[in-house]
Amino acid sequence: MGISIGLVGLGNFGRAFADLFKRHPLVSRIALCDREPDRVKRFADREDWKDKFHPRDAYASLDEICESDLDALVIITQHWLHAPQCIQAMESGKHVYSAVPLITLPDGDETLDLCDKLVETCRRTGLHYMLGETTYYHPEAMFCRRKAAEGAFGDFVYAEGEYFHDVDSSCNLRGVQASRENSASGKEWVERKKEYIERGVLSGPMHYPSHSVSGPVCVMNAHALKVTAYGYRNRNGDSFFADSAFSNETALFEMSNGATVRICEFREVAGSIAASETFRILGTRGSYMENQWKENFRNGPDPSEPLGNTAKPAQTMRLTPEEMRDPLPPEVEKAWYDTSRESVAYGGHGGSHAYLVHEFVDSIANGRRPAIHVWEAVRYMAMGVAAHKSALKDGERLPVPDWGDPPG
C-alpha cells in the first residue's frame, strides 16, 4: 500500500521535487501546501496530477496541513523556518522531510537548542526526520560510501569539503534572497531579522554548512570533536553581508576517527578551486578526489593485509557519474523515465533529487529510519555552528556538540 505525502513550500526549490514525489510508485496520495495560493495552483490545476491529488488536499498553511491525516510532510520552506516547522509536523503525528539546512538563524545557541529539541522530538514520538542534503546523494558520495563499506580507504587520514558560492555567481545570491523574502513568510523574516542585528548577533556562511560537511562525515561515519576556524570579512561595505560577521569561513576539525577535516564555506570568491560543492577524502590505502579513485598497491584484495614492500605506482581510476551512482529500483526508474530525453529524470544537484525522494518515500513506506536521520543532521549543523563561534573568537579551539548515534 502506498503512503500519503504533503508538500509544504512550493517555491523555487520545492517545485523541483513535486513531480518526483507525485510519480513515485509508493506514493498513493499527494497534498499541496503553500501560503502563496498561486504556487499551489500551479500543480493543483494539472490534468496529470488528478490521479493522486484531490482538491480537498490543497492547504494554505502548515498549521492547516498539520490537521490532516497525511502520513508525512515534505518541508521545503525558507531556511530560517525549517526546524520549528519540522517539530510542529512531528507533534501532529507526521514523519517529516526537511530541505537543508536543519535551520539557519544568526544565533548559534538558538540553533543548538533547536537541534536538541529536534532529536528529543524524534526520540519521544518515534517518528522519522530526514534532512534533504543533496551532496549526500551526489554520485561521488554514493561511490565513496561503497568504498568505505569495503574498507578500501584503509584508515581515514584527511578530508576536505567545500561550498564555494559567490554572491554574484550565475545562481545569484542577491536574487535568491530577494525572491525568498518576497512572500508573506519572507516579509515576516525581514522584520524578525532586525532583532538579531539590534542585539549585535551576526551570522556567517558556516550557518549553512551541510553541503560542505556532509560528504566527509557520511563517508567516514565519524563526527567532529574540536574545531578551529577563521573568517574573511567583506571589505567593500557590500550590504548583502550586513547581517554577517564574515563572507567566507574556513575551519579545521579534529574528528572522532583521528582524521583532520578542512571545510570552506565561501560566499565571496572568484571562480573556485574545483567544483563549487565537493569533497576529497584521503585514506592510508585509497583516496577519492575530483572523480578519481586512487589506490595504493597491496599484496592482495584483503584491506587488512600489509602494503607490499615493492614500490609500485598507485593505481588511478577515472569515474563517470553513472559508474559512481547506486542503482535505483527498476519500478522507480520506470516511473521517472523521461521519454523526451530517453533517460531517468534524476533532477538537479548532481541527480541527487531522485535519490532523496526515493530514500524518504521508501523509508516511510517500509517503516525504517531514513539514511540522513536526525542524529546525522545535527552533526552537520553543530559543525557549522561551532566553526562560526570559533571564527568569532579569532580561531579559539572549541568543542563540537554531538547527540550520539541513533538508538538501536
Ligand X SMILES: NC(=O)c1ccc[n+]([C@@H]2O[C@H](COP(=O)([O-])OP(=O)(O)OC[C@H]3O[C@@H](n4cnc5c(N)ncnc54)[C@H](O)[C@@H]3O)[C@@H](O)[C@H]2O)c1
What residues make contact with ligand X under the rule CB under 6 A? 8-14, 33-36, 39, 61-62, 76-79, 81, 99-100, 134, 179-180, 183, 185, 349
| Cis amide linkage into residue 209, ω under 30° from 0 | no
Rounded Cα gap, residues 263 and 276, in angstroms: 13
CA distances from 217 to 212, 261, 350 (A): 10, 9, 19
Residue with smaller CB distance to ligand X, 63 or 405: 63
Residue with smaller CB distance to ligand X, 61 or 284: 61
Cβ pair 207, 388 in contact under 8 A: yes
Residue with smaller CB distance to ligand X, 156 or 279: 279
Cβ pair 303, 285 in contact under 8 A: yes
Residue with smaller CB distance to ligand X, 125 or 276: 276
State the nearest-atom distance from the C-beta of 375 to ligand X, in Å: 19
Amino acid found at 313: P
Residue with smaller CB distance to ligand X, 216 or 286: 216
- Residue 8 parent element (H or E): strand 3-8
- Residue 402 parent element (H or E): none
State the nearest-atom distance from the C-beta of 331 to ligand X, in Å: 26
State the nearest-atom distance from the C-beta of 65 to ligand X, in Å: 8
State the nearest-atom distance from the C-beta of 75 to ligand X, in Å: 8
Rounded Cα gap, residues 299 and 301, in angstroms: 7
- The residue number whose beta carbon is nearest to ligand X equals 11
Residue with smaller CB distance to ligand X, 35 or 147: 35
Angle among Cα 375, 186, 269 to the nearest 5 degrees reads: 70
- Reported residue count of the chain is 408
State the nearest-atom distance from the C-beta of 181 to ligand X, in Å: 8
State the nearest-atom distance from the C-beta of 136 to ligand X, in Å: 10
User: Residue 34: helix, strand or coil by DSSP?
Assistant: coil
Cβ pair 277, 162 in contact under 8 A: yes
